[in-house]
Structure 1
Amino acid sequence: MKKIASTFLTALFAGALTLGAYKVFFEKPNYTIVSENDQGSVFQTSYNPTTGINEVDFTSAAETTVNAVVHVKNVSINRGGSSYLDFFYGHGSSSRPQVGTGSGVIISQDGYIVTNNHVIDNADQLQVMLNNNKVYNAELIGTDPNSDIALLKIEADGNLPYLAFGDSDNVRVGEWVLAVGNPFSLTSTVTAGIVSAKARNLGKIDQSFIQTDAAVNPGNSGGALVNTNGDLVGINTAITSQTGSYVGYSFAVPSNIAKKVVDDILEYGNVQKGILGINAARANTPYAVEKGINQIEGVYISGVEEDTGAQEADLREGDVIKQIDDIKIRKFADLTGYLSSKRPSDTVQVTINRNEELLTVPVVLKKRQVITVPNMGLEIKNLSKEDMKKFRTRKGVKVVGVPEIYRGYGLDGKVLLSLDDEEINDIEEAKVLFGRISKRGRTIITMINEKGERERLIFQ
């Protein structure tokens, strides 16, 4: 018995000696001590392990999203390149189908799908394939090229899985997000990243994108950008790349803008856009640099349009917009992004800096009064009360700008009453009618001058 006890004590002593030697000579500590004389950056480390990506659970959001994201196929017929043989003999050999693909997001159980306008542009046939490989023909309900949003509808056998719109105004820079789509026709692909920035524009004056570093490639367009709760916060739209493939930056239309466009299409048939009625000095112009405006945080008002909410609220040139409702305004894209989710007649609380004093005033948004119509490029405005009295008409739109190619036709300053015998009531109707003009057909414009005389122009 004594022998066993002696052996046990010897082993215990040897083990303790070995452990002590290991601790002293081999084990590296979990902390770093930096003295005042060290040349490197001074930092502190924690004994506790750092938190990271492993603590963020993406699985629930991914499982919810993949079944609500669809594959969109755009089939169009290429009718270009006809030869003289086609003209005389009607061979028709040059007509051949072209197929483009993208993604879409189911937003209701009865089959409404939101995607990008550029995914379905010029389509002769649209097909949608669900995550369970079922294929349906899709109907185009409406589009808004300005925001690059389109709405489709399929008639499915039963209720479909769908995603609810989240509030993109609450998205924070640094927040984890998932991009779900069909890059390179690889269905149900999920990538993760963070929100890199908000209110980005890519050259157009009224764009406002969410920027992420979630990998997005051709085919992802129209797919879902969701947060870790599975809320739809954006529609993936674009990448910035010299190669055409992802290099670290991708952009999504914020969900608040997409939802508003969808609601407008369903309720009105087109997008109802409310404007503030100001002209803003862009920060990168020589004028802005000369005036020191390029160093201002906010939007500098360089002018106020007539008959707008801004004029009625007494906004003035020189005011700087700092906030609208609860949204801080640091640059022009912040302003346009928020207003894109609003409609005419909505009231917003605008906080301005006027002579170093902060003022908050309510502004009622109104319909845009001046637009440029497609195809002909005429600049037109809705009739004011003075115009109605002068031209003795309550319908039509006034021409306030004419491109050089049409300046010899006497259009400037006159009121357009109809296009191809279809009556024009306001600039929105005019925009639709001018958008239908065929370059190969004949266009008839009926207008009236200040004397009340009607004129007709025929363009071949």
Structure 2
Amino acid sequence: MTFKQVLATVLIAGATSVASVFVYNKYFEQRSPGIYQNGSTNIPVNYTSYIPNAIKTNDSNNTPFDFTYASKVAVPGVVHIRTKTNPRQVQNSRRQASPLQQLFGDDDFWDEFMGNNQRKYYIPGQMASGSGVIISDDGYIVTNNHVVDNADEVTVTLANSNRTYTAKVIGTDPYTDLAVIKIDAKDLPYLVYGNSDDVQVGQWVLAVGYPLNLETTVTAGIVSAKSRTIGINKVGTSNISPIESFIQTDAAVNQGNSGGALINTGGELVGINSAIASPTGSFAGYSYAIPVNLVKKVVADIMQYGSVQRAFLGISYYDPNKISDSDAKELNIRKDVNGVLVANAPDGGAASAAGIKEGDVITKINGINTLGIPQMTEQLARYKPGDKVSVTYLRDNKEHTVNVLLKNRAGTTDIVKSYAIDKLGAELYTVPANRASQFGLNGGVLVGKISSGIIRNQTTMRPGFIIIKAGDSQVTSLEDLQNALQENSKIRLEGIYANNSGNGVYYYDINTNN
């Protein structure tokens, strides 16, 4: 092949390549998507910015994954809480006094005479550690109920400081696992409330606390789910349900993180870390935080009234997706509906007064979707007795909306300053008249599941105990018991066991000031 032929071949090949590129760019490039989902070859400006103005850093490059600003804002407002529980004496139950005991009138003598030296025993003391979040510059701190529960001494150490204060427990709420404590200090750094309703699955969050007795520790993760319920706050067996609508994250949280802060990348408080999902007790992938919008309401109630003012809709309920096909057909409801099925709406309750009845499916509270039980209970927990909310429900697959006046658990709209009855630490409810008559009683208060509080700390009472007398007062209802406890701090509870009523009356002495 001659030189001219080789040169001609090269020129033709080059011209063909240039023409191909020109034709492709002109006719095909606009039809092909870019490397990003919006078809653009440019990175979207909000590629990793999940919260407006969240990226605040001195780094000139504004690196999206730089959490230094949020950490600097949050760390000073998260404290280390240490608690001490002293050894305590616990009283065994005592059966009804015999004629000889009444004659001698000395319980201790009678116990010794009968060889019963098991009436009292001691529980050893213990020490524990957790975290808390400063919410005001004058020393109010929010933490978990289980961090300070039963503690005789609570101390607070500020971040990166040797300053330690003795704290006073202002109030607790086991149903949400929240507590408010107070230290005598001023001009403290505190965290600003965010909005947990704005938290989105997939956004970055940071957990700040004192895990494993370490100094302040910050971990990062994303929100992996919302409105989770894990059954950890359940404190009884009645229809008074715990409030669980957790923010689930994969930020590393361990023992000692309880009560600490979950913050967004702007340094705002969006949750209080409360629990972990783990077969070992240590972090294994998921942690759970109480949404800050619920925290705000509980804290405000405790600071204003001394106890949480919980509003009740006055229904029993269950998930419509968990009922059988035959039951769904009988109730004429669709199982694919997102909502909460009303199992019962007793007369006198808030729902019944508004016309809601068995078989209705509640789908919204104040226009906010209640896709399941966690969402509904969280929405209701933001209100107090006497508040009005709009409730949207389905009946015969038709949508209705009514205004409901919420009530307290006694069936009124009264605000109660303090419930001495709450300090007992057990699920309590009035025995229905038909059940009371089976035991030959006019009424009574049944003790359900016993959690933490006076009953567990001071007695050996078991679930199933029916209180029929408190001091000199007959007890036929929760209101009777509440009144008796308000009048006397040291009082004897008298009653029988529902499953063992033939074995006589039992007595338990308690002191509500301890």
> Given the two structures, how large is their TM-score scaled by the length of structure 2?
0.65
Q: Secondary structure at the match of 1:155?
A: coil
**What's 2:281 paired with?**
244
**What's 1:64 paired with?**
73
Decide whether aligned partners of structure 1 residues 97 and 55 sit closer, same or farther in structure 2, where only a CA change above 3 A counts: same
Decide whether aligned partners of structure 1 residues 98 and 420 sit closer, same or farther in structure 2, where only a CA change above 3 A counts: same
**What's 1:192 paired with?**
220
| Whole-angstrom CA distance in 2 between matches of 1:368 and 1:180 | 36
- Where do 1:136-147 residues align within 5 Å? 136-147=165-176
| Whole-angstrom CA distance in 2 between matches of 1:436 and 1:99 | 33
**What's 1:276 paired with?**
313
1:258-309 CA-to-partner distances (Å, cap 9, x unmatched) read 2211111122111111111222133464547742664321112222122122
Decide whether aligned partners of structure 1 residues 419 and 333 sit closer, same or farther in structure 2, where only a CA change above 3 A counts: same
- Where do 1:41-440 residues align within 5 Å? 47-48=41-42, 51-52=47-48, 54-79=63-88, 97-131=125-159, 132-156=161-185, 158-203=186-231, 204=234, 205-206=241-242, 207-283=244-320, 285-287=322-324, 290-291=327-328, 294-369=335-410, 379-380=429-430, 399-400=431-432, 408=439, 410-412=441-443, 419-421=470-472, 427=478, 430=481
Decide whether aligned partners of structure 1 residues 369 and 294 sit closer, same or farther in structure 2, where only a CA change above 3 A counts: farther
Return the offset for 1:239: 0.4
**What's 2:60 paired with?**
none
1:112-138 CA-to-partner distances (Å, cap 9, x unmatched) read 111111111221111100012311111
Conserved? CA contact 1:194–1:212, under 8 Å: yes
| Whole-angstrom CA distance in 1 between matches of 2:140 and 2:474 | 32
Q: Secondary structure at the match of 2:279?
A: coil
| Whole-angstrom CA distance in 2 between matches of 1:315 and 1:241 | 40
| Whole-angstrom CA distance in 2 between matches of 1:283 and 1:275 | 20
Unaligned runs of 5+ in 2: 1-28, 30-36, 50-62, 92-111, 113-121, 235-240, 412-418, 446-466, 496-504, 509-514
**What's 1:11 paired with?**
none
Decide whether aligned partners of structure 1 residues 133 and 403 sit closer, same or farther in structure 2, where only a CA change above 3 A counts: farther
Conserved? CA contact 1:102–1:221, under 8 Å: yes
| Whole-angstrom CA distance in 2 between matches of 1:146 and 1:355 | 34
| Whole-angstrom CA distance in 2 between matches of 1:248 and 1:432 | 47
Return the offset for 1:247: 1.3
Unaligned runs of 5+ in 1: 1-32, 34-42, 88-93, 381-398, 446-456
Q: Secondary structure at the match of 1:333?
A: helix
1:74-107 CA-to-partner distances (Å, cap 9, x unmatched) read 111234799xxxx9xxxxxx88652100000001
1:40-74 CA-to-partner distances (Å, cap 9, x unmatched) read xxx99864458448525522221111000000001
Q: Secondary structure at the match of 1:64?
A: helix
Query: Residue 150 of structure 1 aligns to which amino acid in structure 2?
Result: A
Query: Residue 281 of structure 1 aligns to which amino acid in structure 2?
Result: Y
Conserved? CA contact 2:341–2:362, under 8 Å: yes
Conserved? CA contact 1:378–1:402, under 8 Å: no
Which shows bigger deviation, 243-252 or 66-75? 243-252
| Whole-angstrom CA distance in 2 between matches of 1:291 and 1:127 | 54
| Whole-angstrom CA distance in 2 between matches of 1:171 and 1:428 | 40
Q: Secondary structure at the match of 2:355?
A: coil
Query: Residue 429 of structure 2 aligns to which amino acid in structure 1?
Result: E
| Whole-angstrom CA distance in 2 between matches of 1:303 and 1:98 | 44
Return the offset for 1:329: 1.1
Decide whether aligned partners of structure 1 residues 170 and 117 sit closer, same or farther in structure 2, where only a CA change above 3 A counts: same
Q: Secondary structure at the match of 2:432?
A: strand
Query: Residue 305 of structure 1 aligns to which amino acid in structure 2?
Result: P
| Whole-angstrom CA distance in 1 between matches of 2:145 and 2:486 | 16
Query: Residue 149 of structure 1 aligns to which amino acid in structure 2?
Result: L
| Whole-angstrom CA distance in 2 between matches of 1:354 and 1:226 | 41
Decide whether aligned partners of structure 1 residues 263 and 375 sit closer, same or farther in structure 2, where only a CA change above 3 A counts: closer
| Whole-angstrom CA distance in 2 between matches of 1:376 and 1:436 | 20
| Whole-angstrom CA distance in 2 between matches of 1:262 and 1:426 | 29
Which shows bigger deviation, 362-371 or 208-217? 362-371
Decide whether aligned partners of structure 1 residues 227 and 331 sit closer, same or farther in structure 2, where only a CA change above 3 A counts: same
The RMSD of aligned alpha carbons is: 4.2
Which shows bigger deviation, 418-427 or 286-295? 418-427
Conserved? CA contact 1:301–1:316, under 8 Å: yes
**What's 1:23 paired with?**
none
Decide whether aligned partners of structure 1 residues 375 and 327 sit closer, same or farther in structure 2, where only a CA change above 3 A counts: closer
Identity across matched positions, percent:
43
| Whole-angstrom CA distance in 2 between matches of 1:68 and 1:428 | 41
**What's 1:15 paired with?**
none
Whether 2:504 is the aligned partner of 1:459: answer no
Conserved? CA contact 2:345–2:357, under 8 Å: yes
Which shows bigger deviation, 418-427 or 243-252? 418-427
Relative contact order (alpha carbons < 8 A, sep ≥ 6): 1 or 2 greater?
Answer: 2
Decide whether aligned partners of structure 1 residues 287 and 410 sit closer, same or farther in structure 2, where only a CA change above 3 A counts: farther
Query: Residue 134 of structure 2 aligns to which amino acid in structure 1?
Result: I
Q: Secondary structure at the match of 1:274?
A: coil
